Structure 1
Amino acid sequence: MSSLFSRAGSVSERRRLLASISFVALSSCFGFSASAQDASPPAEEGTPSANSSSVPLPSVVVSTQQKKKPTTKKKKVVQSPAAEASENPTVVGNNGNETDATNESRETNPSGLNLSKPATSGSRLGLTPLETPASVEVISGETIRERGQTSVVDAVTQNAAGFTSTASPGNGGTGLATRGFSGHGSVMQLYDGTRMYVGSGTVTFPFNTWTADRIEVLRGPASVLYGEGAIGGVINVVPKKPTDYFVNEAEVAVGTDFSRRIGLGSGGPINDRLSYRIDVAGEQSDGWLKQEGEFQNLALSGAVKLKAAPGLTFTLSNDYGYQEPLRYFGMPFIDGRMDKRIRFKNFNVEDSEVRYRDNWTQFKTEWQANDALTFRNTAYRLTSHRHWRNIENYAYVSNLADPHYGQIKRDDYIEIYHNQEQIGDRFDATLRHSLFGMKNEVVAGFDVNKINFLHSNNSPYSGTSWVNPYNFNSGSFYDPINLPPTVASFKTDTFQYSLFAEDRLAVTEKLALVGGIRLERPSIERMSLITGKGFDKDFSAVSWRAGAVYTWQPGLAFYGSYSTAVDALGNLITLSQAQVPFDLATGRQVEVGVKQDFWNGRGEWTFAAYDIVKKNLLTQDPNNSQITQQVGQQSSRGLELSAALQLTDTLRAEGNIAVLQAQYDEFWVNGVSYAGKVPTNVPQQVANLWLKWNFAPRWDLIGGVRWVGTTYNDQANRSSRPDYVLFNAGIDYAVTENSTLSVRGYNLTDEIYATGGGANSDGSTRSWTLGRPRSAEVAYRIKF
């Protein structure tokens, strides 16, 4: 595999990468190659756990005033997060940072549902999940790394209730589904509270969990907080942040398929006003496929925080990601069945390409004018450069009369480039005061941005080749004759502004009312670079949410909410001419639930019931398939249960289950009604269970089980992927008080399962995109 570093463009770009000298030194010993294109320094870490696991990784904590000794190993004491919060009062900012009385964040319990940990994904007021009338989860970085989840998709799907992956190289490898809705157009992804608008159904950052302090998950409509494109839910990856204590950490791992991983992180004070955080993570593997199966990535994250004056802080951060993910588009069925002989074959061409290069720069200002009033502002510039060059469609030739009978037909020779830049600013002010004798908190602000998007391709996609299923030469992308040239196809300029407000009124000590509203006005201009023709379109939408939380007793809360949402017709910034006559899709949700933190913090559980309806789907006229109309409707209703319990001092269990009924209520394709059919890529049942057993001093055994129900490939529900069960396990040994050696196994039963699929015109299954087979790795992690 050629080196990523060798592809760096300018000398200055290489010098920026070489600034991470420690990474270069270690990676050269490790044999890792990386790209320096647009490389920029790295971003934040969550803090040492107050409730460490039975095999802890305590850091040596050093303050600027006094040096502390390393923590000593002792039996875990389980304490209520609420009790810890009372011992370390917090001030919460809208970027999700909570600061204790000495100014910096200290992670409480790294396990569990974190119901009493402030989270901003469900509210701009920094409410805890117990205070929020919505389904909010906080997955700590310690939990993610303890379970060996190196990708954001794995961390979300294996820990959060009701999430499944729809990831493929085509959508950036990060697509998700929840509550009956799937894809980037309905399940939004944020990084540190900021979203990049979706271009052609693709989001490519963030992808690595090493730089994450935590991942916050909100299930259900979130347009009132983040705008269009979040009717199913939101995930927010919160990076590690600068700290006023020193912490350094490193991890190195090797595994099957010659997989190698490395992660380095450092943070602490530079002086009494300035602190930093820097992280580097890289991965490289030959992959589990026999042809063209290698992949690699690099993530750099850095931030500097300045306490300019009492109550006034500035934070400058930059995050860079480079990926060459798996270039795999599935395994074709042979004679209507899966043939295990081609399970590990990749039918893509030898010179296929999938490359993503993302860079996120953010400048945050927070000013706490007094105890009642806080101002926050985030200015940002986000860029993404993506390249695909692949054959993406494979089908077995079963017609005896066809001269290519018994071969795999490969077509759709596709080459696409994306160049995207988003510049924006988000401002809000929070006021905490008394209203008619009742405690009231209100936040109001605006979000404005401009997105420039350039799309290049070789449309119309053509080119066809045939190969023997069992023994073939992958060939080259340029083998077919007369492929259309790859040229700049179209560009769009999108300008969006929104106004938002949220309020929480404590009517009594037990009852609180929470409401919010958002007005957004996106405007899109699209120009064809081939014909010179174009169009412009203005949208307007208002989303709102109203809810109540009743705290029956400390740690036990009942809630209910009604919320509305809007989704784009496809993707906002790549709106097509055919979609211009129509408005944004709209939706609403009714949700009720209960949350409890009990047994002095040893147990937590949540239960939610919801009903969602999404209207104004684009469908075909039942009397004329050439006419598109906006009358379609899709609905979903379901139940979700999550629980975490410290059963004994040495045994802990965490799990969740989601069951739902999703369907098209009104939907026509080619004059055929699909009412009552289940939407594609939406399983009706999903469950996770994790157990951790400290079976001996210094030893932990960790096991996880995941069940995903049957999923349909097509809208008529004639082609499906069966349910599957995955078993993951690991064993940790505390080599020292500050280091751990881990052995992890994934898909222990070597289950053959599909994460995606396609159907033929007759409704039969054409292909499956298979998940990772059985694999293992050995990892060593240290904090110092």
Structure 2
Amino acid sequence: MNDSMRTAHWHKAAWAAGSLALTLGAGVAAQEQAPATVEVTETRLAGNPTLSLDERNETGSRLGLSARDTPASVSRLTSADIAERSLMRAQDVAVRMPGMSEAPAPGNGGSSLSARGFGGHNSVAQLVDGARLVVAAGTISYPFSTWPLASVEVLRGPASVLYGDGAIGAAVNYVARKPRFDRTRGEAFFGAGSYDTLQGGVGVSGPLGETVAYSAYADADRSHGYRRDNGYERQNVSSALAWRASQDLTATLSLDAGHNDDARYFGTPLRNGRLDDSIRRTSFNVDDALVRYNDRVARLRLDYQAAAGLRLRNETYYLTSKRHWRNAETYTFDAAGTRVNRGDYLEILHDQQQAGNRFDAMVDGRVAGRANRLVVGFEWYRTRLVHSNNAPYGGASVVDPYDFAPGVFSSPVPTIPGRRAEMDTRAVFLENVLDVAAEWKLVAGLRRDVMDFDNHDLRTGVSLGKDYHPVTGRLGAVWQPSTQFSLYGQFGTATDPLSGALALPNGSVSFDLTRGRQLEFGAKGGVPAVKGEWTVAAYRIEKRKLLSRDPDNPGVAQQIGQQSSTGLEIAFAAEPLPGWTIDANAAVLRARYDDFQEIVGGRPVARDGNTPAGVPERTASVWTRWRFLPTWDAGLGTRYVGLRQSNAANTANLPAYTVLDASLAWRQSPSLNWTLALKNLADRDYALSGSGGVRWLLGAPRTVQLSARTSF
């Protein structure tokens, strides 16, 4: 897409968003003939944004438990917290929570996360309103915008008992805004910032009579980027219509869509393992590169209070993802250090569909005179992928880094469909919480999946199939001797795919899923004197059945490897003084290969005792906010990510980094806020991901954004 087409596309999106705002605003005005009441935009000062121990957390359990009553580590940031920190990308919210970090790349949708020593989409599940986004080929590209989100919730540790395969490290749930029956609320924002960045969005929700309510949110985002291939254009729409068919039955239809012409930046080559400042803003991709994602999601949710103590819930959904990459993806300096060799001229297309249904029944009753809640249900989903590419990925060029001519994409191999993959998953699950005594709760869960996988090679005609039958569970106890303090312990199990949910490891049907187990102990408490809450968790996770090479026969892969992590996480949020809030967390862990053989030069080499690639063993995040005048607020945040290894041999690494952010907010009126946000205040260069001593994917430099938010 050329510049004129991009500009026209942006103008259409901006015009559509503006028209929607005017239409919705007119509709609101028409409905409210009486004198309007001004709704004050939320400026919460409670010191517990990520903890919220006494609020119900839907991601940690289907039982409707509060965070305090859940025997696991759960965190949440709401839409108000997200707006306060000027976070525009969905994954940027998740990495503000304890122990979470990122490893983005255009190939994984820029959305790959790491938790508790395990990284990537195969180990950290991502969901929308509790529906699992199946990883087709290492990529998740939705959601990317925070504007339509009510909150982002994270359950750390094994989550397969709730969400199925691929959740040993954590599960991240993006919770969309819902229609509201109580009153009409409209809101909008517009922002402008560094590198010709423009952002805007509008949304409204409210009743359409006594039995129908709606919500509609749209936003768009455009930037030229701090280098030629960092520009992007994104549009996002989220809508829902709720119908109260009766006092006990509600049906909600949601339609969401996202279009993302994303950055084409695949990294900066290193000179002798070091970053050369003279090329840190140079682009090395071809001129006609593209990274494009189009996602559509439709969902129908039914919620029926069938009788006293019996609640039935059902959700049916259909998702499509169409993705297209065309890039030169690797860049390395030649031996003389004067030229950059480009390779991996890749063109890849994903045509992915996911359809599913989840039903559960919640039963409230008593067992031996004690309160008991049981959730039992089933889930089915089918994912299909047609994967096209130009394998075996030929094409190469040599460019001058100081007199760069981008050239165009050229491949000796045509791009054609390569394989078609289908995964059919059926699962039954149950959860139960029993008040075994006045101060004790026992929480248990069990899930059995039946997974049928078929892989069809469209070039050779060979078809292979594999069935998996994992059983996962969780057993935990919570002791709450007072309203301000609780202790818990938990044992849980999980499974991960070896090479993606829709791929066969090593092209063979001989291998099973990896198996994981965790033992976790923790405490959660409150400090009323400073309106504070705190949590601490200690855990040990083991992941078994990794592919490892036979030392006596390097050509044979065996599923005998193991890796583990042991760690400690702490979090604290408080309001020590009126108008001053602080939210802080830190995590330390020891992640190791316990038993792993890697092929090097045709022979197996033991990597026992090494740290898995891409895993930081130290992370920390702090955000503090000070209302220094009645209408003025200042915010300051820092996020630290420790050193990460780049390979199993631990011979190269990505350095640790610290990023500082700041903001200044002014409430011009009860319904209009202005915010000046500065990201990467110190303008540091840092590596988000990369290939160790060869190439780094650099984070954004210092950026400035001025935005306005209004409610109507």
Task: Name the TM-score, length of structure 1 as normaliser.
Answer: 0.86
Counterpart of 1:255 in structure 2 is 193
Within the candidate set 317, 320, 323, 2:254 is matched to 317
Q: Distance in 2 between matches of 1:601 and 1:246?
A: 35
Would you say how many aligned residue pairs link Structure 1 and Structure 2? 702
2:206 corresponds, among 262, 265, 268, to 268
Q: Percent identity?
A: 37
Among residues 243, 268, 277, which one is paired with 1:331 in the alignment? 268
Once the two structures are superposed, what CA deviation does each residue of 1:442-493 show, in whole Å capped at 9, x if it has no partner?
A: 0000001111110000000111100012211000002x6xx10000000012
State whether structure 2 residue 37 is matched by structure 1 residue 69.
yes
8 Å contact 2:42–2:80 — kept in the other structure? no
Task: For residue 335 of structure 1, report the CA deviation from its aligned partner.
Answer: 3.0
2:5 aligns with: 3
Using the alignment, how far apart are the partners of 2:202 and 2:317 within structure 1? 25
Which letter maps to 2:59?
A: S
Distance 2:210 2:44 in 1: 33
Match of 1:489, SS?
Answer: strand
Equivalent residue for 1:498, pick from 413, 420, 427: 427
- The within-5 A match list for 1:770-781 is 770-781=698-709
Aligned to 1:239: 176
- How far apart are the structure 2 equivalents of 1:172 and 1:625? 34
In the alignment, structure 1 residue 205 sits paired with structure 2 residue 138? no
Partner of residue 746, structure 1: 679
User: Structure 1 or 2: larger strand share?
Assistant: 2
Flag the 1:506–1:666 CA change in 2: closer, same or farther, 3 A: same
Q: 2:618 matched to 1:685?
A: yes
Deviation at 1:721, TM superposition (A): 1.4
Match of 1:572, SS state, is: coil
SS in 1 for 2:81: helix
Residue 499 of structure 1 contacts residue 518 of structure 1 at CA under 8 Å; is this kept in 2? yes
In structure 2, the residue matched to 1:712 is 645
Q: Report the counterpart of residue 373 of structure 2 in structure 1.
A: 441
Give the Cα–Cα distance (whole angstroms) in 1 for the partners of residues 125 and 29 of structure 2: 36
1:665 is matched by which residue type in structure 2? D
Q: Select which of 646, 654, 658 maps to 1:725.
A: 658
Q: For the Cα contact (< 8 Å) 1:517–1:545, is it kept in 2?
A: yes
Tell me how far apart the structure 1 counterparts of residues 30 and 499 of structure 2 sit (CA, whole Å): 51
Return closer, same or farther for 1:342/1:689 CA change in 2, 3 Å cut-off.
same
Aligned residue for 1:292, secondary structure, equals helix
Q: Which residue of 1 aligns with 2:316?
A: 379
Instruction: Report deviation, 1:110.
Output: 7.9
Query: Within 2, Cα distance between the matches of 1:190 and 1:357?
Result: 17
> Residue by residue, what CA displacement relative to the aligned partner does 1:214-253 show, whole Å, maximum 9, x if unpaired?
0010000000000110000000000100001110000000
* 2:605 maps to 1:667: no
- 8 A Cα contact 1:355 1:386, kept in partner: yes
Q: Which of 567, 570, 580 matches 1:638? A: 567
How far is 1:25 from its partner?
A: 3.9
Q: Distance in 2 between matches of 1:620 and 1:74?
A: 56
Q: Quote the Cα distance in structure 1 between the aligned partners of 2:381 and 2:138.
A: 19
CA distance in 2, matches of 1:176, 1:666: 24
Question: Cα deviations across residues 420-439 of structure 1 (Å, max 9, x unaligned)?
Answer: 11111100000000111000
- What SS does the aligned partner of 1:155 have? helix
Aligned residue identity for 2:667 = A
SS at match of 2:230: coil
Label 1:537 to 1:559 Cα distance change in 2 as closer, same or farther (>3 A). Answer: same
C-alpha change, 1:305 and 1:74, in structure 2 (3 Å) is: closer
1:601 and 1:382 mapped to 2: Cα distance?
Answer: 45
- Superposition deviation, residue 367 in structure 1: 0.3
Instruction: Classify 1:331/1:123 alpha carbon distance in 2 versus 1 (closer, same or farther; 3 Å).
Output: same
Q: Describe the shift of the 1:333–1:129 C-alpha distance in structure 2 as closer, same or farther (beyond 3 A).
A: same
Choose which of 126, 132, 144 in structure 1 pairs with 2:82: 144
**Cα distance change of structure 1 residues 331 and 523 upon mapping to structure 2, 3 Å threshold:** same
Q: Is the 8 A contact 1:64 1:272 kept in 2?
A: no
Quote the Cα distance in structure 2 between the aligned partners of 1:272 and 1:61. Answer: 18
Are 2:51 and 1:113 equivalent residues in the alignment?
yes
What one-letter code is carried by the residue in structure 1 that aligns with 2:703? S
SS at match of 1:154: helix
C-alpha separation in 2, matches of 1:176 and 1:432: 36
Distance in 1 (CA, whole Å) between partners of 2:145 and 2:517 is 33
On the 8 A contact 2:521/2:537 being kept in 1, the answer is: yes
- In the alignment, is the contact (CA less than 8 A) between 1:62 and 1:246 conserved in 2? no
Q: Distance in 2 between matches of 1:677 and 1:726?
A: 27
Question: Match for 2:355 among 417, 423, 447?
Answer: 423
Where 1:170 maps in the other structure, the secondary structure is helix
Is the 2:505–2:511 Cα contact (8 Å) retained in structure 1? no
Structure-2 residue corresponding to 1:192: 129
Query: Which whole-Å deviations, capped at 9, do the CAs of 1:344-382 have from their partners, x for residues lacking one?
Result: 011110100100000010000010012300000001111
SS of aligned partner of 1:161: coil
Alignment of 1:46-61 (within 5 A): none
Indicate if the aligned counterparts of 1:494 and 1:525 stay in contact, CA closer than 8 A.
Answer: yes
Query: Residue type matched to 1:524 in 2?
Result: F
Residue 452 of structure 2 is aligned to residue 516 of structure 1: no
- Identify if the C-alpha distance between structure 1 residues 73 and 420 changes in structure 2 by more than 3 Å, giving closer, same or farther: closer
Contact 1:177 1:187 in 2 (8 A): yes
Q: Deviations over 1:590-649 (max 9, x none)?
A: 000001133078101000000000000112222333221111101001000000010111
1:649 maps to 2:574? no
Encode CA deviations 1:18-74: one digit per residue, 9 max, x unaligned: 9x97615489x9xxxxxxxxxxx99xxxxxxxxxxxxxxxxx999999988335799
Cα separation, 2, equivalents of 1:570 and 1:66: 60
SS at match of 1:129: coil
TM-score of the aligned structures, taking structure 2 as reference length:
0.95
Pick closer, same or farther for the CA change 1:7–1:783 going to 2, 3 Å: closer
With over 3 angstroms needed to count, the CA separation of the structure-2 counterparts of 1:328 and 1:119, relative to structure 1, is: same
Residue 579 of structure 1 deviates from its aligned partner by 3.8
Residues 128-148 of structure 1 deviation map (CA, whole Å, 9 limit, x = unaligned): 110100001111111011101
CA distance in 2, matches of 1:311, 1:601: 41
Which of residues 411, 416, 421 in structure 1 aligns to 2:343?
411
Structure 1: how far apart are the matches of 2:201 and 2:354?
29
Compute the RMSD of aligned alpha carbons.
Answer: 2.4
1:23 aligns with 2:17: yes
In 2, Cα distance between equivalents of 1:65 and 1:603: 43
Contact 2:498–2:505, Cα closer than 8 Å, also in 1: no
Q: Does 1:606 align with 2:535?
A: yes
Give the secondary-structure state (helix, strand or coil) at the position aligned to 2:244: strand
Distance 1:24 1:65, change over 3 A: closer
- SS of the aligned residue for 1:272 comes to coil
Q: Which residue of 1 aligns with 2:278?
A: 341
Q: Equivalences for 1:29-178 in 2 at 5 Å?
A: 69-70=37-38, 111-157=49-95, 159-178=96-115
Question: SS of the residue aligned with 1:127?
Answer: coil
Q: What's the offset of the Cα at 1:578?
A: 2.6
Using a 3 Å threshold, how does the CA distance of structure 1 residues 421 and 6 change in structure 2: closer, same or farther?
Answer: farther
Describe the SS at the equivalent of 2:544.
strand
Q: 1:351 to 1:699 in 2, by over 3 A?
A: same
Q: Is the partner of 2:413 in helix, strand or coil? A: coil
Amino acid of the structure 2 residue aligned with 1:152: A
Structure 1 unaligned regions, length at least 5 = 9-13, 30-40, 43-59, 79-108, 760-764
Output the CA distance in 1 between the equivalents of 2:401 and 2:498.
Answer: 38
Could you tell me how far apart the structure 1 residues matched to 2:474 and 2:29 are? 43
Per-residue deviation at 1:555? 2.8
CA distance in 1, matches of 2:499, 2:695: 24
Q: Is the 8 A contact 1:713 1:758 kept in 2?
A: yes
Aligned residue number for residue 593 of structure 1: 522
1:299 partnered with 2:228: no
Match of 1:528?
457
Quickly say closer, same or farther: Cα 1:637–1:722, change in 2 above 3 A: same
8 A Cα contact 2:48 2:533, kept in partner:
no
Indicate if the aligned counterparts of 2:443 and 2:475 stay in contact, CA closer than 8 A. yes
Check 1:71–1:325 CA distance in 2 against 1; reply closer, same or farther (3 A cut): closer
